[in-house]
Structure 1
C-alpha cells in the first residue's frame, strides 16, 4: 500500500503543499496560521509524512511546529531532489511542480521521519552559528583596522572590535554553560578534549553540527562530514576517489584541528608521516588526517555514550 505523503516547497513567505497520490495542491502562508492549516489538510487526507527541503532556515518553523501538532516530518536534501527531478525529465521548476517532485522523491526513496532536535540542541546550534558569524566579523574588522590610515577610522573600528570581542566572550560562556549543564554533553566534552589540540570551540562545533557523532559507524560519520572517498570505478578502470558533499562546518574545523593534533598525538603523527613517506599529495594527506581524527572522536563519543547509558 502506498504511503500518503505531502511534499512541501518552502519559501520565505509560502508553503506550497502537494499530497501524493491524491494530487491535492494548496498554498499556505509560512506562519503559525498557515502551518496550522497545513496540518489540518494533512489530517483530512490521512498524510503519514510531510517532507520538505532544507531551505536556508525558512523550513525550521514549519518543521518544528508540525511535529508539535502531531504531524511526522522529514527533511530532504535539495540537491538530491533536483537531480531526481531532472532524472525524471522534469526540467520545469515552479513552486507547485517542486512540491510534487518532493512528494514523488520521498515516495521513491522511502524517506523516513527526521526526529526534531531537542530544545537544548536547537539553542546550541544557534549559539554556535552566531559565534561563527561574530568570529568572521572580527577577522574582517581587524583587517580593516590594519588597513586604516587615519585615527578617526581606527577609533571607529576599535569600538566595533571591542563590541564583537564582548559578544564573542559572552557567546563562548553561554555555550560552555549549556554543555556543562547537560550530563551527556559534559561527558562528550571531556572525551573529545582528551585529545590535545581539540579545544572548546571544536567540541561545540561538533556537538552542534554533527550530533550523530558516536551514534553511527565510522564510515557513516565520515560521509556526513564529507570526508569519505566516493567510489569512481568502471569495468577495469579504478578512478580517482574524491570527497564531496557533507557538512562544511565540521569538515572545515577538522581540517584545522587535525593539523594541530598531529603535532602531539603519536598515532596521528605516525599516520601523517606514513602518508608523506608514500609521496601522497598534500591535499590527500590533509583529508586523510581529518578523517582519521574524526574516526578517533567518533570512537571516543561512542564509548562516552555507552558509559553514560550504563551509569543512568
Structure 2
C-alpha cells in the first residue's frame, strides 16, 4: 500500500495541511490537531512533515506521534531553498504546506522519533535557564545606567529574583541529569574539560543529544561550526560557517575561550592561528570546533563504555 506525505505549515493560529492535492486548514488547538490526525488517516498518510518553528510545532508533533502517526521535522531554510529552486517565489500558508510535502518527498525524509519525556523536560528547563540568564545579564547591566535610589532598588530586586530563578532551574536540571545513568556519565565527561560546568552540561545534553553518537563532521554541522567549501573552478574561496544550533554554538564560543586558559593544547592551537594572521572570528570558530570535536570523542568513548557494561 502506498502512503502519502502530509506537509503541515504550523503557525500560532493555524495548521495548514497539504496531502496528495488535498488542502485543509485546521485551528492550532487540541481539537484542530485531532482533526488533522483524522485528515491524515482519511488520506492514507504515512508521514507528516512540519518545519521547525521555534517550538510551536511540538504540540502537533508529539500528539500525532502519541497516536501512532509518524512525523518528521524539516529545516525551514532547506524547504525555502527548495521552493525557490522549484520556481515558487510567492509565499502563502497553502503554498508552504505544499512545498513542505514536496520537499519531504524529494529528499526522502524519514520519521524523526519523538524525544523521551525526560529529554523534553530537560530541553524545556535548559531553554528557560537561558532565558533567565539573559534577563539576569540585562538587569545587571542596567544597574550601571541609573543613580536614582528607587530605580536602583527595583533593579536589585529584579537581579535577586532572576538569580534565585537561575539557581532553582540549575538545581532541577542537575537532579534530572543525575537521575539518568547515561546523562550522569556524560555529565562527568563534559566536566572533565576544565572550565565547563553546569550551564554547559545543561545546554549540550538538552540541545545536542547527538553528542557522542555521530561523527565529528556531522556534530560540527549540527552546531554550525563546520567549515563550508566555497570553490568554483580554479577559485578557492574562504570557508565559512552558517546555520546550526545557535544555543550550542554560543555556549561553545564562551567556554572554549575559558577552557584554553587551562588547556595548553587549546591555547597553543589558538596562538598558532593568530600567528598565521587569521581573523579573530575565524580563530574563535576554530577553537570552538576543536573543543566540540574533543567533547564528541570523549562522549563517544563514554557511551561505548556504558554499552559494554550493560
**Contact 2:142–2:155 (CA<8 Å) still a contact in 1?**
yes
Tell me what 1:138 maps to: 136
Instruction: Provide the aligned length of Structure 1 versus Structure 2.
Output: 310
- So what's the TM-score if we normalise by structure 2? 0.97
1:124 equivalenced with 2:119 (yes/no): no
**Residues 110 and 2 of structure 1, relative CA distance in 2, 3 Å threshold:** farther
SS state at 1:146 partner = coil
* Partner residue of 1:159 out of 152, 157, 177: 157
Superposed, 1:1-312 pairs within 5 Å as 3-19=3-19, 22-312=20-310
Q: Map Cα deviations across residues 195-251 of structure 1 (whole Å, 9 max, x no partner).
A: 111111111111111111101100000011011011111111111111111111111
Q: Which runs of 5+ in 2 are unaligned?
A: none
**Contact 1:138–1:161 (CA<8 Å) still a contact in 2?**
yes
Distance 1:98 1:188 in 2: 39
**Contact 2:223–2:249 (CA<8 Å) still a contact in 1?**
yes
Q: Which runs of 5+ in 1 are unaligned?
A: none
- So what's the TM-score if we normalise by structure 1? 0.96
**Contact 2:10–2:53 (CA<8 Å) still a contact in 1?**
yes
SS state at 2:45 partner = coil
| 266-275 vs 241-250, which moves further | 266-275
**Contact 2:3–2:44 (CA<8 Å) still a contact in 1?**
no
Q: RMSD of the alignment, in Å?
A: 1.3
| 49-58 vs 268-277, which moves further | 268-277
Distance 1:29 1:306 in 2: 45
Q: Map Cα deviations across residues 11-51 of structure 1 (whole Å, 9 max, x no partner).
A: 111111100xx311111111221111211121122111000
Shift of 1:3: 4.7
SS state at 2:186 partner = helix
SS state at 1:50 partner = strand
SS state at 2:8 partner = strand
**Contact 2:49–2:72 (CA<8 Å) still a contact in 1?**
yes
Q: Which runs of 4+ in 1 moved over 6 A?
A: none
